[in-house]
Amino acid sequence: MGKDTVPFLPRQHDDDIVVHADQFDEAELKRIIRALNLKVTSQRMAILKALHEGRRHVTAQELYEKLNKENPDIGFATVYRFLRTLTEGTFVTEVRMGGLPARYELTPKGHHDHLTCVKCGKICEFENKAIEGLQEKVANQFGFKLTHHILELYGVCPSCQAKNL
């Protein structure tokens, strides 16, 4: 794979994500909707619950497909518009990995970075204080005050490495 080549990442499966799951109860989900000055509706609650209860890092299409099974009255446009609104309100984080379609996750209560397998699409979330410190030092070196960042690392996971032996 060339240096400028965007890796192909296969579609993930629910068990392909290693996460540090934050817990949001129904009252917190309703507070998110109200904080956006929106009415709490069954469709908005279903979208938030699907984001919360499902795996993280879903595309709008994957979220729609999951919702459509139990809520056929929720259209793709509704899912996409609400994701955009949630993202603008910083309640949902949009992650763009390697130029692929945007993936969404409820904004975690704590920061984390991602390791993504280029063979199977598995995503591992991690936190590393040394890396965080180095990023601050680099920003300071160039006179930047960091507001936020996303670190994405790509490689081959142990399972895929073992399959290629």
Dihedral over Cα of 87, 92, 97, 103: its sign: negative
Return the number of other C-beta atoms located less than 10 Å from residue 7's C-beta: 15
Q: Which residue has the tokens 């160039």?
A: 142
Residue 120 counted as an annotated binding residue: yes
Q: CA–CA distance from 8 to each of 29, 60, 113, 118, 156 (Å)? A: 34, 18, 19, 7, 12
Residue 73 counted as an annotated binding residue: no
β-strand partners of 114: 125, 152
Residue 124 counted as an annotated binding residue: no
The Cα angle at residue 29 between residues 28 and 35, in degrees rounded to 5: 85
Residue 149 counted as an annotated binding residue: yes
And the tokens for 107? Answer: 């904004």
Residue 160 counted as an annotated binding residue: yes
> What are the residue ranges of helices labelled H in the chain?
26-35, 42-53, 60-70, 76-88, 129-141, 158-163
Residues in the annotated binding site for Fe cation? 111, 113, 132, 149
Give the residue numbers of the binding site for Zn(2+).
117, 120, 157, 160
Residue positions forming the annotated binding site: 111, 113, 117, 120, 132, 149, 157, 160
